[in-house]
Amino acid sequence: MRTKTLALSMLLAAGAARGDGAWLREVFDARGRLTNVAPQQNTAVAMRGEVVSIVPFLRGDEAMLYVNVRYRFANPGAAATLLVGFPELRGDVTTVESDRAGERSQERTPHATIDRFAADVAGRPLDVRVAPGRGDYARWFTFDVPFGAGETALRNRYVASPGCPATSSHEDASFRCLAEYILHTGSTWAGPIGEGDVNLWDGRPVNLRHFTDLTPGRGDDVSVPLSITVPPSPGRPLFAWLYGNGRQLETVAPRVERASLVQESSAAPDAALPHLGAAVLDGDPDTAWVDAGPRGAAGEWVQVPTHRLGRLRALTLTQPAGGARIRAAWLTCLDLDGNAPTLTEVARAALTFEDRAGAQRALLPQGAGPCHAARLTVEALHGPPDGHVRVAELAFTD
């Protein structure tokens, strides 16, 4: 029987951190239809640990964020199945008067729209539903979590558009993309959060926040700009404009500087999320990039921005047990061609790996760099030549 509903920490909501997660109350209309869910407070299950990994990646021509959140919960009572909710915030648009010639401009704070969402307990997928929210919350992703007596490992993964607060006027348009993590909703679980980390790959691994025994408030929320260059589209507005004859809407998709984002040649499909290249940077050995090459993994690649690492001297590759594994690969150092967002190969090194699971470190014969990005290209496999590889983690040493 469904007896309780809880809210997790909210991730990647752009703009001000608004709204508290808590116990969820399902609200129905007179016909028994679910109209929204609303937060309440929980005093039973405690969050012992929380590790958040945020990895910007490229999907087509669009900058996206891959997010992996691993929770450890402690249940001191009897086993119970609880309805857990993960919220998505609303955004807003504010019109501002300019001092110059009475000109109007707009500041836009969009929410981070969640595109795909997956949840699992100890690797077992959970059925995720979407419920309407109210007030500050646009909607909730809900799923039943079996909390046994003792500790439970819950993982949430999803893809979201980054929050990009923007300012536009008749003369100019500019904005910056943000990665945000809303910690204060974690206060809805019993007691403080035992320990936690919020990590970001932004050309290098960055720890945005480490904490222990935290009862989070709004001042504990994390928001940092990403090193993603998004030039405005010249001659056209990026967002809504106001004219004397009424309101006119026009949206132009911004151009993204591709070199600052994780990319892959292909990614095998999965039930909820594809096996993205961004998974090699989430610190989770149970997630992986899996290629979808039509003739196997040979020639397929994953590319990682490394523009803050300097010269590359070694690479550590982690592959899980099962399936084909990489026997030989090329590591290519790519740098920007002058001021243009165009990557050029500046160095290339051949690497070899043993036929075993786990982490293996390969030294580059000569240090390569500086590298704005590094590309690992599969050359040959241990196992069938038409097999596909699973790369759980990549780490670089400068």
Same domain, 188 and 306: no
Contact 162, 64 (CB under 8 A): yes
Same domain, 147 and 281: no
Please name which of 126, 122, 129, 171 lies closest in space to residue 148, comparing C-alpha atoms: 122
Query: What CA dihedral angle connects 183, 187, 189 and 191, to 10 degrees?
Result: 120
Query: What CA dihedral angle connects 73, 79, 85 and 86, to 10 degrees?
Result: 20
Cα distance between residue 290 and residue 205, in whole Å:
22
Same domain, 295 and 388: yes
Same domain, 214 and 350: no
**Half-sphere exposure of residue 271: CA atoms within 13 angstroms, side-chain side:** 9
pLDDT of residue 317: 96
Considering just the CA atoms, what is the radius of gyration of the chain in Å?
23
On whether the pTM is more than 0.75, the answer is yes
**What is the CATH classification number for the domain harbouring 182?**
2.60.40.3680
Instruction: Please give the tally of structural domains in the chain.
Output: 2
Same domain, 283 and 136: no
pLDDT of residue 92: 53
DSSP string, 44-100: S-EEEEEEEEEEEEEETTEEEEEEEEEEEEEE-SS-EEEEEEEEEE--EEEEEE-SS
Please name which of 205, 153, 207, 203 lies closest in space to residue 181, comparing C-alpha atoms: 207
Domain assignment present for residue 37? The answer is yes
Please name which of 210, 208, 204 lies closest in space to residue 260, comparing C-alpha atoms: 204
Lookup: tokens for 358: 């786990």
**What is the CATH classification number for the domain harbouring 300?**
2.60.120.260
Domain assignment present for residue 243? The answer is no
Same domain, 181 and 279: no
pLDDT of residue 21: 30
- Write the CA distances from 276 to 58, 258, 392, integer angstroms: 10, 16, 11
Same domain, 203 and 268: no
Domain assignment present for residue 148? The answer is yes
Domain assignment present for residue 297? The answer is yes
Cα maximum dimension of the chain: 72
pLDDT of residue 256: 61
Contact 226, 179 (CB under 8 A): yes
69 burial via Cβ count (<10 Å: 0-12, 13-18, 19+): buried
Which ranges of the chain have pLDDT less than 70? 1-30, 32, 35-42, 90-112, 163-176, 229-257, 308-309, 337-341
What residue numbers bound the domain in which 268 lies? 262-397
Same domain, 120 and 210: yes
pLDDT of residue 199: 95
Give the number of other Cβ atoms within 10 Å of residue 95's Cβ. Answer: 13
Give the number of other Cβ atoms within 10 Å of residue 1's Cβ. Answer: 4
Domain assignment present for residue 105? The answer is no
- Cβ-proximal residues to 250 (8 Å cutoff; 6+ apart), any chain: 236, 237, 240, 241
Q: Which amino acid is at 150?
A: G
Contact 198, 181 (CB under 8 A): yes
Same domain, 72 and 146: yes
Same domain, 135 and 197: yes
Domain assignment present for residue 329? The answer is yes
Same domain, 369 and 300: yes
Domain assignment present for residue 234? The answer is no
Same domain, 134 and 210: yes
Give the number of other Cβ atoms within 10 Å of residue 138's Cβ. Answer: 17
Domain assignment present for residue 255? The answer is no
